[in-house]
Structure 1
């Protein structure tokens, strides 16, 4: 086990270990579960996974199996939880959700996870889009994660706010406004300035999510494809940073707190007009609107367009830690939860987009319009946005760089406490302190 790496990531996350979830009963070679041999399987997810009904369905189909579910508040806390328990060598659930942003860190300790090839992964690999299955495979060919959702990006916009600014409100017209297939970030920021001049209000919620989207779109992000850091001296990345910094300096950021938005208030009070929307973000916005007492009347919609073209942000995997005392049963549960039929149900419950081909096709054919987003044809839009997506290589400290290196620097821009040069220099300083020199 690479304890130094585990300790470093745990320290960077800056949080204590969450409560330990009890492991399943019995040893690895115990008799199969059944009515006369009941077992418990533990599962840890984060955020909005939409699994509650699926757990009940699995228990009904598998007498003798009880699922104990633990959901961690957010990906960052889930990462802390996982690495704290990996470092301790105990406490992990039988099935653990892993977010794409910290999958690279998990790959550095992939020997601490069950090789799902030993439980039939090769027989079902064609379920997934090829790059998703490849993401869950380590350099030695061990499959350590079954893909859940993916995060093709579209653009959410508030039609009522657009109308007040004299902008079109029909989602197809909005897509053309941004440039359709030729949409660019330059157009995105120019429209933001037009909106700001007409209303005096911010365009986007905060800079960090926009930046994350811009970086995810590059052929190579924080790391090169061969695993080298790719930030200092990266002229293309710096140019994108300057483009964002200029927009924020012009008053386009609402300086919201990530994943908070004033407990959803900012989505109902006109604080900003557009939001970058990987498919799973619709579920997050739904939760925020519900928290703030908002609904379809708040004016949110989603358009089949994204600045700069195809982009993927996020998505997750289900993994089985080597500490599971029931690896075969845990692997079976992970395979069932990520099978196409279950991914369709998960998508309906969590407003995310599946990573299996059959589930994607069914959602396009049968998905109901999303009432909360002005009856947007959810399946068609995100299937369209998934075309051309190629997963970017994520290095071991990718999520650390996004959350602990660039997020603080971008906050300087949002707060108006630093220029583009000062914010970039702060990011480089943090990069060296937290990643390069550790």
Structure 2
């Protein structure tokens, strides 16, 4: 498998905070000018050009899917425009949707933005659930629901999801006298995030030169991502202050910091990157796409030392959607392409080439996914591990300001507990104040 990360670096940072998935690492995509789609243009040979607007190194082009579609449909030309950072891409998308101009024929939407899109932009987007070739039953139920508005209009087709496992260093587990076999490791904390904490305490008692986890914020995000209700309730009201799982995740993460189990690292920083090869921490909550990231950063120095086991509870971190604006001149052809790109067979290829785990559950029975193993992680059966995690993940209630809440809980709050030793109650109050100011509450 060519395990490679996808989407933008910023989307990764946000996804790490939000634990929803979130878009992922990019690297070399350049900011581009506004999309030229929606023109209905044909070239000199009468071919129809379909434009696709994405953020970061999204992966569809890199996986060869555009070339395959153009080969199978010789009258179609696909042109992609990319804006590297999602915080630049998404506001532009909202502006173009409002004006009905400047849109690509197909636009990508990161999972942390999909709730706002379905709630406020559905009337400007095609109902892709009615497009020929789109089968609701092919998709994970919770992924389909995320892309569907309250009145039942499916405006977003999922490209991928980020089911999580726990990646761990076998050499450090052996040093701590803990089992290294992935099934036995998973059994240590099965069903309970508090068991994960207890294993960390056992680890610390034996190992003094490495931490148990990379950072407390990622523990908090993983706990939050394993619950149906998080920052919003079923009525669409902000509920993070009163939802027990939010405070549970906060308190657990704070314990990791206070017990000295954290390496105090912030995701997607140089120190965090280097720690994968240096053995500075023993475990990390990791979705399927992060395996390629760990391999890249761990390199030959850490080869043979990493493995992956199931997480204490099923959780999701990452994933995106494709939408088709009604204002597009090529919307019928664009809808056909969106349906094809998100079909099980193409999602399986996307996984093989880019490590983007399918949101189409029908792909899980295809050999490319079902039999997938990762050599760098001691040939871990990643198809089996992550398929189960995806199928068991909760149908999480998403809200339009999830990112703001998650960012502040992590950066204004838990990061200070972890790195500066700030009292957890004080840090919580600071984060709440910052969130309330951002939400005008």
What does 1:33-432 align with in structure 2 at a 5 Å threshold?
A: 35-46=45-56, 49-52=59-62, 53-73=64-84, 75-76=86-87, 78-83=89-94, 85-86=96-97, 90-107=101-118, 108-117=120-129, 119-120=131-132, 123-178=134-189, 180=190, 182=191, 184-200=192-208, 201-262=210-271, 264-289=273-298, 293-294=299-300, 297=303, 299-303=305-309, 305-307=310-312, 309-363=313-367, 366-432=370-436
Moved more, 336-345 or 205-214: 205-214
Tell me by how many angstroms 1:374 deviates.
1.3
Tell me by how many angstroms 1:204 deviates.
1.6
For structure 2, the 5+ residue unaligned runs are 1-29
Moved more, 336-345 or 81-90: 81-90
Tell me by how many angstroms 1:74 deviates.
5.6
Asked if the contact 1:268/1:298 (under 8 Å) is kept, the reply is no
Q: Could you tell me which residue of structure 2 aligns to residue 24 of structure 1?
A: 37
- 2: CA distance between counterparts of 1:90 and 1:367? 44
- 2: CA distance between counterparts of 1:414 and 1:209? 11
- The SS at the match of 1:314 is coil
- 2: CA distance between counterparts of 1:346 and 1:433? 40
Tell me by how many angstroms 1:329 deviates.
1.7
Tell me by how many angstroms 1:425 deviates.
0.4
Q: Could you tell me which residue of structure 1 aligns to residue 23 of structure 2?
A: none
Structure 1 residues 251 and 298: alpha-carbon distance in aligned structure 2, compared to 1, 3 A threshold: farther
- 2: CA distance between counterparts of 1:119 and 1:160? 50
TM-score, length-scaled by structure 1: 0.85
Q: For the aligned residues, what is the CA RMSD?
A: 2.7
What does 1:6-25 align with in structure 2 at a 5 Å threshold?
A: 19-24=32-37
Tell me by how many angstroms 1:238 deviates.
1.8
- 1: CA distance between counterparts of 2:188 and 2:82? 40
Q: Could you tell me which residue of structure 2 aligns to residue 12 of structure 1?
A: none
Structure 1 residues 92 and 212: alpha-carbon distance in aligned structure 2, compared to 1, 3 A threshold: farther
Tell me by how many angstroms 1:73 deviates.
4.1
- 2: CA distance between counterparts of 1:321 and 1:416? 46
Tell me by how many angstroms 1:330 deviates.
1.5
Q: Runs (4+) of structure 1 moved beyond 6 Å?
A: none
- How many residue pairs get matched? 409
Tell me by how many angstroms 1:54 deviates.
0.9
Structure 1 residues 95 and 296: alpha-carbon distance in aligned structure 2, compared to 1, 3 A threshold: farther
TM-score, length-scaled by structure 2: 0.84
- 1: CA distance between counterparts of 2:155 and 2:254? 39
Asked if the contact 1:296/1:374 (under 8 Å) is kept, the reply is no
Tell me by how many angstroms 1:94 deviates.
2.1
For structure 1, the 5+ residue unaligned runs are 1-16
Structure 1 residues 138 and 366: alpha-carbon distance in aligned structure 2, compared to 1, 3 A threshold: closer
Asked if the contact 2:127/2:154 (under 8 Å) is kept, the reply is yes
Structure 1 residues 387 and 119: alpha-carbon distance in aligned structure 2, compared to 1, 3 A threshold: closer
